[in-house]
Amino acid sequence: MTRPTRERSNKRKYMINQITAVVFSVVIFVALSTVAFAGGMKVEGAKAVSKVFKTITVSWDEVLIEAPEEPSEPSSDPLDGTDEAIEEPVDAPGIMTEPVNDAPAADIVDVPAADMADAPTADIAGEEAADLSDEEAADSADERIEDPQYVEITYKVYRATARKGKYKCVATTTKTQFKDHKVTAGKTYYYKIKAKGDGVSIGYSSIVHAKVLRQKKASLSLIKKGGSFFNFRVEAKQKLYKYDTLQGACANNGYAYLTLYDRNVEKCKIVKVDLSGPKVVRVSKALPVYHANSLTYNTRKNLLVATCCQVKGERAVFVNPNTLKVKSHKDIHLTSSVKDLPSKVRRNYVGFTAIAYNKKHNCYVGRLRYSSNVIIFDSRLNPKKYVKLHGKKRFLLNQGMESVGDYIYDVRSFKGRHKYSMVTIHKMNGGFVGQIRVPYGKKPGNELQCVFHDGKQFYAGFYRTTSQYNDNRRNKVKRYNKLYKFNNLTRYLPN
């Protein structure tokens, strides 16, 4: 290689190296600028609350980052982008749109201005646009403005048991809320959120914390009369060891309907009580409602509906609330047409332990016997859908049930020696909301039989006996039925 050729080659390499260095510097500058911009951002509005038993809900504000605009592709039209515009000829009678050089001067005719004004003109888009009002033009321009496009953001939720403790990622989501169920009641947890999108990392949110809600204990107020508890069995003139055991109950417009069960004949009497007194206003005859584990009030049809439970578990009995006489009954059958009903549940079906009418949704909710799950009925008590009630299961006896608004109140008492009872709250779709423990069971034989609502206030009905296993006349066992106002049953409901 000659000397001049070598010099040219070296100059070329030098220029390439210089260009590469400049390009690399620009890339580094842009990257550092992006990192600096992202470092100045952080997730805002983080909150942590515990309104549901053994659950913490963490929420934060949405992070919005506009997506960069994509470069437009070059047009294939050679005339696109030029300043010159080509005017199309307009053919109008009496108007010559293009001079004809070959035509003799005598053939060129002058058209008077008056005739020009009357001459028809072509419909031109530009002229139509010119006739638009300013407001219409503004609206047309707004329609052409496209909504900004945002980068998809992914959030990571970090949790620790101390503010300055070790944070561990417990969830990755594209939503702006996370429900943490893997927590311990009474313990405090700390959270911070980090976001990332399209290679851009957003800084941590501020640290938030919440203490997990403990299981709530019931707050009850005894309904009294004459300085003692309201003994509606005695006031209804029902003898001990006959119709003496409270079962299902319901209420409407200030009146309660309470069933008293006679285990000797498997029948019940319904006692109508004015809660404002309180006082007994009517007592039914013995009705074939058998165990009557639950009683509910259909406010739209003005009907009492009782479940027979143990004897005829598939039967519901309809009672007139004014006369307290049986109007009719219906035996409920489950078929494959019931939505989401497992075939095993259908084969093992033996009836219901409780049925509650929901006024808001105009439907019934029925708890299956030997099960913790329910069937949703229509207003005519036709089974429509199987719903699984979620949440921790406990070995408790099935008692009554109530359904108000968007919630189901499932009543249970402890099996054997009744140390406590439980009211579990679920959404209509089966979602777990919370539990309230009813500790009125220090002595054996105390059962929370029913919870009912009169449109304004929740009530609770207890059956109390001095002996759980020898509850009979021979052992001279005392039996009591007591009514309470339930003051905090809505504690877990969302605000």
DSSP per residue, 401-418 = EEEETTEEEEEEEESSS-
Residue 313: what residue type?
Answer: G
Q: Between residues 276 and 35, which one has the greater pLDDT?
A: 276
**Two structure tokens written together for 430:** 């089966």
Least confident of 30-34, 225-229, 342-346, 397-401: 30-34
Name the burial class of residue 164, with classes exposed (0-12), middle (13-18) and buried (19+) by CB atoms within 10 angstroms of its CB: exposed
Residue 388, pLDDT > 60, answer: yes
Distances, alpha carbon 77 to alpha carbons 248, 286, 346, in Å = 84, 95, 71
Residue 470, pLDDT > 60, answer: yes
pLDDT of amino acid 181? 86
Q: Secondary structure of the chain: what % helix, strand, coil (to 5)?
A: 15, 40, 45
Q: Which of 206, 223, 219, 238 is nearest to 60 (CA)?
A: 206
Residue 3, pLDDT > 90, answer: no
Least confident of 38-47, 94-103, 410-419: 94-103
pLDDT of amino acid 99? 46
- C-alpha span between 51 and 491 (Å, rounded): 9
Question: Can you tell me whether residue 340 is helix, strand or coil?
Answer: coil
pLDDT of amino acid 347? 93
**Two structure tokens written together for 283:** 């007592």
pLDDT of amino acid 468? 64
- C-alpha span between 338 and 344 (Å, rounded): 13
- C-alpha span between 233 and 261 (Å, rounded): 11
- C-alpha span between 14 and 437 (Å, rounded): 83
pLDDT bucket at 72, cuts 50 / 70 / 90 = low
pLDDT of amino acid 111? 43
Residue 84, pLDDT > 50, answer: no
Q: What is the mean pLDDT of residues 143-152?
A: 65
pLDDT bucket at 149, cuts 50 / 70 / 90 = confident
Q: What is the mean pLDDT of residues 348-371?
A: 94
Number of C-beta neighbours around residue 374 at 10 A:
27
Share of the chain above pLDDT 70, in %: 72
Enter the DSSP assignment of 74: P
Do 213 and 181 meet the contact criterion of CB atoms below 8 Å apart?
A: no
Summarize pLDDT for 6-65 with one digit per residue, the tens: 666 777 777 777 777 666 665 555 444 444 344 467 889 999 988 776 788 999 999 887
Least confident of 141-150, 263-272, 386-395, 416-425: 141-150
Residue 448, pLDDT > 80, answer: yes
pLDDT bucket at 201, cuts 50 / 70 / 90 = confident
Do 181 and 392 meet the contact criterion of CB atoms below 8 Å apart?
A: no
Do 258 and 324 meet the contact criterion of CB atoms below 8 Å apart?
A: no
The most confident of the ranges 20-24, 64-68, 414-418, 422-426 is 422-426
pLDDT of amino acid 379? 94
pLDDT bucket at 313, cuts 50 / 70 / 90 = confident
Q: Please, what are the domains in the chain?
A: 42-64+148-214 (2.60.40.10), 216-486 (2.115.10.20)
- C-alpha span between 63 and 196 (Å, rounded): 9
- C-alpha span between 242 and 65 (Å, rounded): 74
Q: Between residues 88 and 382, which one has the greater pLDDT?
A: 382
Per DSSP, what are the bridge partners of residue 481? Answer: 463
Residue 315: what residue type?
Answer: R
Q: Between residues 465 and 326, which one has the greater pLDDT?
A: 326
pLDDT bucket at 176, cuts 50 / 70 / 90 = very high
pLDDT of amino acid 128? 44
Least confident of 105-119, 347-361, 438-452: 105-119
Q: Torsions phi, psi of 115, nearest 5?
A: -70, -30
* pTM for the whole structure: 0.64
Sequence-distant (≥ 6) Cβ neighbours of residue 429 within 8 angstroms: 387
- C-alpha span between 439 and 427 (Å, rounded): 24
